[in-house]
Structure 1
Amino acid sequence: MVKVLLAGATGYLGGYIAQELMKRNYFTRLVIRNINKLEGKGNTFDEFLEAEVTKPSTLKNCCTDIDVVISTVGITRQKDNLTYMDVDYQANINLLNEARRSNVKKFIYVSVLNGDTLKNLKICEAKEKFVNELVNSGLDYCIIRPNGFFSDMIEFYKMAKRGRVYLLGDGTMKANPIHGEDLAKVCVDAIEKHEKEIEVGGPEILTQRDVADIAFCVSGNKKTITYIPEWMIKITLKLMRRITKSQVYGPIEFFLTVACMDMVAPKNGSHTLKEYFESNKNI
């Protein structure tokens, strides 16, 4: 039986990966920061390790008897004054060191689509620095590069519920975000596959205008859209870099940058954005 260690199991994607591993009867050891976050979820996993991935001492021997490590560790919303280098890079290095020490066969890491060409962004700089370390680690590996998550797109629905959606540029930039459940299947499939990198998006290629239309349709509100010119976005980013810490401008920098470019990956999965918005009507 292949034994898997999953780090980041209580996050949006990590939760779906944990469920998928359980469905496929993989022996699963979860590394979680707070075991109480799993209470009430109704899942029974083989083992738990309560640890701080940013603190190497808490991870000691975490990979003993493990065949494959899957890491979704990364900052999605800044907290605890930790930086991207602290988490997206160093915390994953801590896991990688343990994996090498225990002779783990494969390390699967979830990065971001086009991260290798967006290293000027703080989040991508940290992620790609780890990717380089993983590639040169001597371990078998797979880098998963997903497009945006449905959980990120929920902000469009929240705006539509309030009556107005703000779009960047002319709203024609395209993306195919993916549901966590669909992405989890790709991540678990990678255990047995031989690809070193997998780019993956959802089944629908949508413009920002399309996303706004879906959001207003589900909310039931009249469509009202305000377009923010790109020159204003560029000025905002420059000012934020100068006057705020990375904990503040990092997530905004990433969102504003990728929203001003096409982010299209190979189609995968079956969940649609409309279904996701409908399932979160009361958010």
Structure 2
Amino acid sequence: MSLLIVGATGTLGRQITRHAIDRGLKVKCLVRYPKKAGFLREWGADLVVGNLTNPESIDDALEGVTEIIDAATTRATGSLRIKDVDWLGKVALIQAAERAKIQRFVFFSILNAEKYPNVPLMDIKYCTEKFLASTDLNYTILKPCGFYQNLIGEYAIPILENQTIWIGGESSPIAYMNTQDIAKFAVRALTVKETERKSFAIAGPKAWQPSEIIKLCERMSGRTRRTANMPLGLLRFARKVALGFEWGWSFAERMTYAEVLASGIPLDADMAETYKTFDLQEEDMTTLESYMQEYFSRILKKLKELDYKEPKIKAPF
């Protein structure tokens, strides 16, 4: 088995890479900037330079590869549009995988993508699912809801830095999961025959509302912070403004994800059959409580060692 991981420097991709190497797999990573991916080489992965917008580089990267895990996506702060990477790039990758006669192909979509045709990222993910299903590849589609790691920037850091936390109201609860646990499903999918040409929702132990996450972070940190609601109308206006500038296209397209969060449709799923199929145990998955406890314990200990004093808030007048 020779595994190529696409998107290996991302939040999820790096955890998949680490888990695959720890499991003894021979791993190659398709990277655009080798200097920024040196940590992957230190872990034991081979780096091959290329990107999804250059089909020729994909063919070169697949030489000697038998399996692919695709965890790549556009970055909200990047210059490329969602269509460039998440559609045209993925189509090129899938077609190259067919030419190379790849034995297993694991693709990451998003739960409920089919329900949001007006949200670019969700619509493109769903279209990619259908395109993959039209091929002869032995694929597995994994559909997570969200990552614990992203909650650090959204909630934990603002609480520690005395910043106001902006939330979009109480709407769609999300069953986030630790990317280290999601990586287990991705690597298992490579060898479990029952996952061939099937899709699986990947949901964490509990679906969380923003207010619940804030209360959890406040309890873990021993601090309280202000919150403010971000009206959906304001987000829509900001998106229209961003679309007027080339540098804001990717950001604007990502902002439409607010429509998903405001829909009221929970991003959650019953995982009983999935755990059984993948031969994994729910009790072995990280809870958000334990994840946040470990994070705050580590950070607060470091701040104490540095004798950090929380700055006082000055009056505006």
What TM-score results when the alignment is normalised by the length of structure 2?
0.79
Structure 1 equivalent of residue 125 of structure 2: 127
Deviation at 1:159, TM superposition (A): 3.1
Cα distance per residue 1:89-134 (max 9 Å; x no partner): 1111221121111111221100111111122101112222222211
Aligned residues: percent identity?
20
1:144 aligns with 2:142: yes
1:205 counterpart residue number: 207
Q: Distance in 2 between matches of 1:222 and 1:60?
A: 52
Residues 168 and 260 in structure 1, CA contact (< 8 A), matched pair in contact too: no
Any runs of at least 4 consecutive aligned residues in structure 1 with deviations exceeding 6 A, and if so which?
none
User: Are residue 167 (structure 1) and residue 167 (structure 2) matched?
Assistant: yes
1:220 positional shift: 2.2
Q: Counterpart of 2:60 in 1: which secondary structure? A: coil
What pairs with 1:1-283 in structure 2 (closer than 5 Å)?
2-40=1-39, 42-45=42-45, 47-80=46-79, 82-154=80-152, 155-161=154-160, 162-169=162-169, 171=170, 173-193=172-192, 194-195=194-195, 196-222=198-224, 224-228=226-230, 232-233=231-232, 235-245=233-243, 246-255=249-258, 257-258=260-261, 260-261=263-264, 262-267=266-271, 268=282, 270-281=285-296, 282=299
Which structure is higher in helix share?
A: 2
Task: Classify 1:257/1:172 alpha carbon distance in 2 versus 1 (closer, same or farther; 3 Å).
Answer: closer
Q: Which whole-Å CA distance do the structure 2 matches of 1:238 and 1:104 have between them?
A: 42
- Residue 269 of structure 2 aligns with an amino acid whose one-letter code is A
Rate the CA distance shift 1:57–1:173 in 2: closer, same or farther, 3 A.
closer
C-alpha displacement of 1:65: 2.9
Offset of 1:13 from its aligned partner? 0.5
Judged with a 3 Å threshold, the aligned counterparts in structure 2 of structure 1 residues 210 and 172 are, in CA distance, closer, same or farther, namely farther
Change in Cα spacing, 1:173 to 1:132, as seen in structure 2 (3 Å) is: closer
Which is worse superposed, 34-43 or 107-116?
34-43
| Residues in 2 aligned to 1:40 and 1:149: alpha-carbon distance in whole angstroms | 21
Task: List runs of 5+ in structure 2 lacking aligned partners.
Answer: 244-248, 272-281, 301-317
Moved more, 205-214 or 217-226: 217-226
Give the aligned residue type for 1:147. Answer: C
Question: What TM-score do you get using the length of structure 1 for normalisation?
Answer: 0.88
Q: Tell me which structure has the larger Cα radius of gyration.
A: 2
Residue-pair matches, total: 275
Which residue of structure 1 lines up, in the alignment, with residue 313 of structure 2?
Answer: none
User: How many Å apart are 1:189 and its aligned residue?
Assistant: 1.0
Partners of 1:119 and 1:188 lie apart in 2 by: 30
Q: How much has 1:86 moved relative to structure 2?
A: 0.2
CA distance in 1, matches of 2:137, 2:49: 25
Instruction: Tell me how large the CA RMSD over aligned residues is.
Output: 2.3
Deviation at 1:53, TM superposition (A): 1.8
Q: Gaps spanning 5+ residues in structure 1: where?
A: none
